[in-house]
Structure 1
């Protein structure tokens, strides 16, 4: 499968007005690019994830098959591999933040300059990856043939913002937070953060079914501790805040290209678009996703019938939802 590589941009201007002397984008390529360049797929990362956390679906006969497709997995700013508060001290300070406009401009430079890819057969994204996918399709419509947006919206809704505010408050209410930085590990913050995330990311029906008991967890509390909190503790809390701030600012129209006109931005998408929420997603709701699909000229709305909530879009423990997504992506790629 190869190893991760780094692409560096010099004097990269952020949308917030700051200029980074170096902006680093870490990525990994799976599969080979055809001589005519027609089999390239871009897969941006999701909240809290690095490419090795979510590349399970890039495998032979998987959702994205590297024997047929050249899949470029790119780590978004703030995730700890690409430029982030943990590796670039100036980032994460007051007034210095990332937007998806920043992410996608940097990714565009990577794709065109470093990899020599003129057009993407597909941009595939789950959650914050879907947000980046929408930005790709609107900012570079001539570069994106197809878009698969799983469990994500092109604009963060007010209801979704409340979820994000609670996550931010969970971390910054910890005694280790000095109002600007963490002076130690936010133990209480991580614990509360994980409880909030676990409650929103899966549905009520999921918790009634208790699938986690079959995976070696002996109780709900054990599942939250080892299945959720332990994972987020692997991330620098400054990076978690940076990605929350990007998510909060997600608005497809809020950039110099569309000047705040979200509806115009959505209507500018020419890619064949597959909008795939989960029927039980609590924060990227099917109603919100269906409303966005209606604004895109060449779109199909195909919700995932699942009790797994938001996690249905990344079904590494869930063969039924994986099969549903695999079939939908195969249909899209055949068009």
Structure 2
């Protein structure tokens, strides 16, 4: 096991349940400086684990472990932290409670302050649902960090994004093997169907028009891409875990808490950190217009789109080297600012 576990004890969730003996899995890179002033927090994304974030960490990159102490906390529900697939009865499987992004960031804040004694963070950065958590960090703990770098994600799940996720959920749960979450064997047909729904959204129209699945990624046909890439991506994952994280995504909103009482513009306005909001120009989940609206309500933010036809995957997980360099260059600029 290449990661560590932080015990949260009895962790009370925003929606009313308590996860007893709650576990937060995390991995660190680099060394914490004596002054504890070189910290970067890099949360995970929908279905991803810390392994899936490591492409953005490396010598000579913005997230350089020779300079920074980089903490990658795993989201609740992702299979390593407390999740439907690993949690004991009675909150196991489909009984696992609803977890918000607010809960995730509260847990991460406890890890960072209680385990490491860290009071200040250089930067919080994240892709997709990692970006959702990044925005939450900025709104929940506005005095704690210098920089924020949410890429290909949003501070609140849009209505259109919510509807897309309903399609993923419907495909997954239509499999008879799903059995309301009490499956003995994984609902493979449902996972494959969910993957096909996802496939139309993860990459842009231009990506498919230019046949980059074949020309650049090396798949032999469109069907080969749908099966080998997309179905292959979803099949190893636990269905209940996916649905837990999907609920977290759908209910993502930095203002949905006692701090802001649902006032989204107030929550955005409270973010003090210097922020680069970096949408993918052709992202179908998180279109640049949503990011422009966020930036307009943030006092210290810049709109810095990733100019790419790779859709949502312009931001990860390291799929296109050109986009990786563009993103890394922007992160270096932000860190140097």
Q: Is the 8 A contact 1:16 1:97 kept in 2?
A: yes
Q: Which moved more, 1:38-47 or 1:183-192?
A: 183-192
| 3-state DSSP of counterpart to 2:118 | coil
Structural RMSD (CA)? 1.5
* Residues 187-240 of structure 1, C-alpha deviations (whole Å, 9 max, x = no match): 221111111111101001101222232444211111111111112111111100
The alpha-carbon deviation at position 29 of structure 1 amounts to 0.5
* Partner residue, 1:157: 158
How high is the TM-score relative to the length of structure 2?
Answer: 0.96
| 3-state DSSP of counterpart to 1:322 | helix
Q: Aligned partners of 2:93 and 2:267: how far apart in 1? A: 28
* Partner residue, 1:225: 227
The alpha-carbon deviation at position 44 of structure 1 amounts to 0.2
Equivalent residue runs for 1:182-221 within 5 Å: 182-213=183-214, 214-221=216-223
Q: Aligned partners of 2:277 and 2:11: how far apart in 1? A: 32
* Residues 71-124 of structure 1, C-alpha deviations (whole Å, 9 max, x = no match): 101100010000100011405545821001110110000000101211110000
* Partner residue, 2:315: 313
* Partner residue, 1:73: 72
Q: Which moved more, 1:300-309 or 1:51-60?
A: 51-60
The alpha-carbon deviation at position 255 of structure 1 amounts to 1.0
User: Is residue 2:320 matched to residue 1:323?
Assistant: no
* Partner residue, 1:282: 284
Q: Aligned partners of 1:281 and 1:315: how far apart in 2? A: 14
Q: Is the 8 A contact 1:92 1:242 kept in 2?
A: no
Q: Which moved more, 1:160-169 or 1:58-67?
A: 58-67
* Partner residue, 2:175: 174
Number of residues of Structure 1 aligned to a counterpart in Structure 2: 334
| 3-state DSSP of counterpart to 1:35 | coil
| 3-state DSSP of counterpart to 2:178 | coil
| 3-state DSSP of counterpart to 1:6 | strand
Q: Aligned partners of 1:239 and 1:93: how far apart in 2? A: 9
- Unaligned 5+ segments in structure 1 are none
User: Is residue 2:45 matched to residue 1:46?
Assistant: yes
* Residues 273-303 of structure 1, C-alpha deviations (whole Å, 9 max, x = no match): 1100011001101001111111111001000
- Unaligned 5+ segments in structure 2 are none
* Residues 290-326 of structure 1, C-alpha deviations (whole Å, 9 max, x = no match): 1111111100100000000000011523121111111
* Residues 162-197 of structure 1, C-alpha deviations (whole Å, 9 max, x = no match): 111001101101111223433432122111111111
* Partner residue, 1:33: 32
User: Is residue 2:332 matched to residue 1:294?
Assistant: no
* Partner residue, 1:248: 250
Q: Which moved more, 1:82-91 or 1:293-302?
A: 82-91
